[in-house]
Amino acid sequence: MTTKEPAKDFDEIADDYAFFERHATEAEAGARAHLNEIAGVTPADGMVKFLDFGCGSGTFTARLLDQTDWPPSRLSLMLVDPAQSARRQAVSRLAPYTTFPIVESPTLPTAADAGFDVVLANHVLNYVPDLQRTVSQLRAVLAPAGVLLIAIGKQIDVFNEFLNYAFGLLGRASPYNCSDDVDAALRAVRANYDKHQVAFELSFPDSEENRRRMLRFLLADHFAQMPHEPLMEWFNQFSRAGRIEIRSYSEHYVVRP
């Protein structure tokens, strides 16, 4: 399959990502969906081994764990993220959810450390350069009855359409993966999976600075290379009574070993 160039540094756009989180229902809707997806999958008693791939600062996983009924004495956590500063924030934020030392790493565990009941890849597969290999690795560390939860945007959703438009201004395709690429990767490794859509909304006061915040979040360091005026004007179609109102959805996958 084609390898894409992910290149998105969340350390550099942390404030802009936080702006998106505050003004979108994506995290709330996504956590609620993931909670339903793991219902009846995790062990009724005993340890729950949980791997968060692309944990970031841990805000989404904290939101998800808030809604589970797992006591800290049952939960074992491993956090994977290439950014050390993000992992440190996630370890601190998620420490109250487990009585065990949190394992953190820039890379995925080996098969010797497998056996995870839940592996979460929430809106992070957009940025991996070798998607098929990553999907295969994520499945390989599942327990026999474990589940891999993936959330990612679809090629034809609003935000991916924007990315295609933005990178088209540079005469190139978007470097980020979407659900079509995940479908292809899962089929290539003959994965057993189901998927469904989860709707969310983004709403924020319409101002030049807020539009720039969203552009920096969506494009990271690519934004500086692009003509700003047409990108700023792209939001006009969503301007309503002094606010930007965007409705979109994510594709959620439930993948089994």
Tell me the residue length of the chain: 257
The Cα-based distances of 53 to 60, 81, 203, 229 in angstroms read: 12, 7, 28, 36
Q: Domains, the chain, ranges and CATH?
A: 14-256 (3.40.50.150)
- What letter represents residue 84's amino acid? Q
Contacts of 157 (CB under 8 A, 6+ apart): 178, 248, 249, 250
Q: Is residue 238 classed exposed, middle or buried when 0-12, 13-18 and 19+ CB atoms within 10 A define those classes? A: middle
Over the chain (257 residues), what is each successive 10-residue block's mean pLDDT? 44 82 96 93 87 95 95 97 93 98 94 91 94 96 95 90 96 94 96 96 98 95 95 98 96 95
CA atoms within 13 A on the CB side of 211: 18
Q: Which pLDDT value is given to residue 28?
A: 96
Look-up of token digits 């993000």: 86
Angle, vertex CA 13, rays to CA 164 and CA 58, nearest 5: 105
Residue 156: the pLDDT is 80
Q: Is 154 helix (H, G, I), strand (E, B) or coil?
A: coil
Closest-CA residue to 12 (of 62, 86, 80): 86
Element (H, E) at 75: strand 75-80
Between the CA atoms of 9, 13, 14 and 17, what dihedral angle is there, to the nearest 10 degrees?
Answer: -110
Q: Show the tokens assigned to 222.
A: 């690519």
Q: Tell which residue, 90, 57, 218, has the closest CA to residue 153.
A: 218
Residue 222's pLDDT is 93
* CB neighbour class for 102 (10 Å; exposed up to 12, middle 13-18, buried from 19): buried
Indicate the DSSP class of residue 155: T
Contact 217, 13 (CB under 8 A): yes
